[in-house]
Amino acid sequence: MYRFRRLRRDERVRSMMQETRLHPKDFIYPIFVIEGENVKSPVASMPGVYQYSVDRLGEILERVKESGIGGIMLFGIPAHKDPEGSQAYAEDGITQRAVRFMKENYPEIYIVVDICLCEYTSHGHCGMVCGDEILNDETLPYLVRMAVSLAKAGADMVAPSDMMDGRVTAIREGLDQSGFTQIPIMAYSAKFASAYYGPFRDAAHSSPGFGDRKSYQMDCANGQEALREIAADIEEGADIVMVKPALAYLDVLKESALTYDVPLAVYNVSGEYAMVKAAAANGWIDEQRIVMENLTAMKRAGAKIIITYHALDAVKWI
């Protein structure tokens, strides 16, 4: 009999034997920025998460700075939406203004920007629409414009989440041609069409106005296809590849970690956060222990970067 329990005997030896340790730098914290003044508006389905106007961003950025986390991921919510999502690449767009504000006032914080049109389009889809079709190639130049415009504003990294084919190649070329050869791309590579995005769409006002996203996001049944998506994005020049959501897709994350030698990110999405917060609010689970168990599982499965709404709490619990 091998006595495994020898190395579990007390906290000293247990902590010495721990294989996976969370670190503040593992985390990226998503932030929602909205038009207006003096706005800090709670997101009902995501307790603890708010939409901030640019003039109120300082409050959350102070906490980010103090926490020592790796960075933030910015999502803009424009007042004006149109079929082409023009505020996504407008020089004075809400996201561009938020990036400039951060660059000026919090230059030490690493800024990742989500690149997608769904928050900016009147139809709420991630690309250009013709009839009930979401167009692929026609969408790419708009994504490139958005990426270049946010790089100009001062973003440190771009993260395309639209799931159009060929967007990584297009964005890389666009950034390079504009002189942004040093801006990395974190591709949402294996992004599944998931019910777990529900609360985010409330927070970001980005629900599709008709149909769903199944013609561009992946079928949750498809693990092999996820590996092909990741391979394609690496081939196209992605610096970091992502699996999203996290908990129901840890098998995909683990297999990617075993298959590919590139940094992996995982997105612990809004629905996962909402479930934990709701159960904790009811006293049905121990929030701190559940959060740390979930985040540890993501890192154990192979994530180098964890994008999570729990980030600012988790650093206190490490």
Instruction: Provide the 10 A C-beta neighbour count for residue 71.
Output: 19
Alpha-carbon dihedral sign for residues 193, 197, 203, 208: positive
The minimum distance between CB 121 and Zn ion, in angstroms, equals 9
The minimum distance between CB 50 and ligand PBG, in angstroms, equals 14
Q: How far is CA 144 from CA 35, 75, 195, in A?
A: 23, 17, 28
Q: Could you tell me which stretch among 20-28, 61-69, 113-121, 289-297 binds ligand PBG (CB under 6 A)?
A: 113-121
Asked if 203 contacts 43 with a C-beta cutoff of 8 angstroms, the reply is: yes
Q: How far is CA 308 from CA 120, 180, 291, 292, 299, in A?
A: 23, 27, 10, 12, 12
Residue 62 φ/ψ, nearest 5 degrees: -60, -45
**Which CB sits closer to Zn ion, 46 or 301?**
46
**Which CB sits closer to Zn ion, 28 or 64?**
28
Of the candidates 68, 46, 56, the one whose C-alpha atom is nearest the C-alpha of residue 310 is: 46
The answer to whether residue 142 forms part of the interface with ligand PBG (CB under 6 A) is no
Asked if 312 contacts 63 with a C-beta cutoff of 8 angstroms, the reply is: yes
**Which CB sits closer to ligand PBG, 178 or 279?**
279
- Candidate list 53, 121, 270, 294; residue touching ligand PBG; CB under 6 A: 270
The answer to whether residue 314 forms part of the interface with Zn ion (CB under 5 A) is no
Collapsing DSSP to helix, strand or coil, 57 comes out as helix
Binds 200: which of Zn ion, ligand PBG, none (CB < 5-8 Å by kind): ligand PBG
The minimum distance between CB 194 and ligand PBG, in angstroms, equals 8
Question: Which residue shows structure tokens 């709404």?
Answer: 309
Binding mask 191-230 for ligand PBG (x = CB under 6 A): ------x--xx----x------------------------
Query: Does 81 participate in catalysis according to the annotation?
Result: no
The minimum distance between CB 215 and ligand PBG, in angstroms, equals 13
The answer to whether residue 118 forms part of the interface with ligand PBG (CB under 6 A) is yes
**Which CB sits closer to Zn ion, 118 or 183?**
118
The minimum distance between CB 313 and ligand PBG, in angstroms, equals 16
* Given 25, 40, 152, 191, the catalytic residue: 191
Residue 260 φ/ψ, nearest 5 degrees: -120, 145
Of the candidates 307, 195, 301, 311, the one whose C-alpha atom is nearest the C-alpha of residue 257 is: 301
Collapsing DSSP to helix, strand or coil, 290 comes out as helix
Query: Does 244 participate in catalysis according to the annotation?
Result: yes
CA dist 277 and 279 (Å) reads 6
The answer to whether residue 294 forms part of the interface with ligand PBG (CB under 6 A) is no
Q: What is the DSSP string of 5-55?
A: GGGGSSHHHHHHH-S----GGGEEEEEEEESSSS-EEE-TTSTT-EEE-GG
* Given 40, 152, 214, 244, the catalytic residue: 244
Binding mask 107-126 for Zn ion (x = CB under 5 A): ---------x-x-------x
Residue 133 φ/ψ, nearest 5 degrees: -95, 135
Residues that bind ligand PBG in the complex, under the rule CB under 6 A: 114, 116, 118, 126, 161, 197, 200-201, 206, 269-270
What is the contact surface with Zn ion in residues (CB under 5 A)? 116, 118, 126
**Residues forming the active site:** 191, 244
